Structures are given as structure tokens and as C-alpha cells.
A and B are shown apart, each in its own frame.
Chain A
Amino acid sequence: GDSVTQMEGPVTLSEEAFLTINCTYTATGYPSLFWYVQYPGEGLQLLLKATKADDKGSNKGFEATYRKETTSFHLEKGSVQVSDSAVYFCALSDPGAGSYQLTFGKGTKLSVIP
């Protein structure tokens, strides 16, 4: 079945540091890939997405590139802020699996300190 593996947290960075959160996936078809962010006490918000190979999703300074050859969708940001502290989830939606539900990774908690 489909699965998403993302790096274990928690991750603690100083403000303005570079961020990478690794994400790899397995899927039966040609999935769409997503990063969701969950701020404390809130639901999930879509951060960015990519729907086909080599697409780059970007939003709020975050970027991720759909790499089919390495089945990866790593999240990056050049300079993190305290307000980026949250839990980040990598996810996929695989039409080849016969449905369009999302499969999530376990989430990576990011804490940014001043």
C-alpha cells in the first residue's frame, strides 16, 4: 500500500537557519504530493503541493520539488522564523490506489528559537 516516510523530529533551529525536512513515499500510481502545517491547537493547513514529476510547490518561503526518480518531496526553507514553529506533515494522494484520500507521514515538529 501507499506510505509516506518523513524524518523523525523534533527539530530545533535558531531563527534564520536553513530548514530541510526529508520526505519519501511509495505509491502504486502517480500521486500528488503535499506538505501540510499544523500550528498548535489548530487543524491542518495546506502549505504547498505538487501534482507531477519535477513540479516545485512553494508558499511562504517554503519549497519542495517532486522528484520521481528518488520518490522524494523534501521541504526546504532558506531562513526560518519563530512563527514557523509547528508540526509539518508530508502527504500523498494516489489515484492509482483507487481513491483520493490522503496518506500522511508521522509529522515532524519544528521549533524555532530566537
Chain B
Amino acid sequence: GAVVSQHPSRVICKSGTSVKIECRSLDFQATTMFWYRQFPKQSLMLMATSNEGSKATYEQGVEKDKFLINHASLTLSTLTVTSAHPEDSSFYICSAKQGTGNTEAFFGQGTRLTVV
């Protein structure tokens, strides 16, 4: 299958700082990328959907000014957690799919964010 690389895999930051997470499709052009957040012992919750070159669509309850998503190219999307707080500590996972329609999405390895 196609490869999606997410970086970093783990990050620890101080409260009030910002953290950027990158999601790259290595061998295909990702028309659409998704960002999920996984709380402990919970399922993945979709945060936002981004299409290359346009603004991300955020799910209800997700603060778009806090979770900045950029999808400037067909191989890269970034999620920036701004002014991070301990409650933002979580596992963030991206996925990417090629083309429109019901094609398979491929997942990154995830990023464990810890805010201290």
C-alpha cells in the first residue's frame, strides 16, 4: 500500500508554546488529508478534513484557531497546535487519500503530544 509518513512520532512541549506536526504522502499525491485525535481508551475522532489548496473543514467542536491546518501541496499537510495546554496532550493521527471518491485512505504512524 501507499506510505504516509508523520513526524515527529513523539513531542513534549511546554504549556503555551506551539507545536507543528507534519504528514507526508511519500509515493502518491494526496488530494485529501484527514486529521484525527485519539483520546486514551477512545476511538479516533475526526478533527478536520483538508483538500489541497483550500481551507480545511473542521468538525463541530474543534477550534480552528487553535488547530491550524495547512495543506499547501499534494504531498504535505501540517497541523499546528497553538498555545498548547496539558489538555491538548493526545495522540494525533493523519490519513491521506488520492483522488476524490471512495478510495482507500492510508494512515501515518501518529504523533504522541505531551504538554507539560
With both beta carbons as reference points, the residue of chain A lying nearest to B103 in the complex is identified as A100
Q: Report the interface size class on chain A.
A: 20 to 34
Cβ of B105 < 8 Å from any Cβ of A?
A: yes
**B34:A102 contact, CB within 8 angstroms:** yes
**B102:A43 contact, CB within 8 angstroms:** no
Given the complex, which residues of A lie within 8 Å of B6, measured CB to CB?
43
Given the complex, which residues of B lie within 8 Å of A95, measured CB to CB?
101-102
Given the complex, which residues of B lie within 8 Å of A46, measured CB to CB?
1, 104, 106-107
Pairs across A and B, CB under 8 Å, 18 listed: A36-B107, A42-B109, A43-B109, A44-B44, A44-B107, A45-B107, A46-B1, A89-B44, A93-B102, A93-B105, A95-B101, A100-B32, A101-B49, A102-B44, A105-B43, A106-B43, A107-B42, A107-B43
Kindly list 10 other residue pairs between chains A and B, CB separation below 8 angstroms, not including A43-B107, A46-B106, A104-B44.
Answer: A32-B102, A43-B109, A43-B110, A44-B93, A44-B95, A46-B104, A49-B104, A89-B43, A93-B102, A100-B103
Which residues of A are at the interface with B, using a C-beta cutoff of 8 A? Answer: 32, 36, 42-46, 49, 51, 89, 93, 95, 99-107
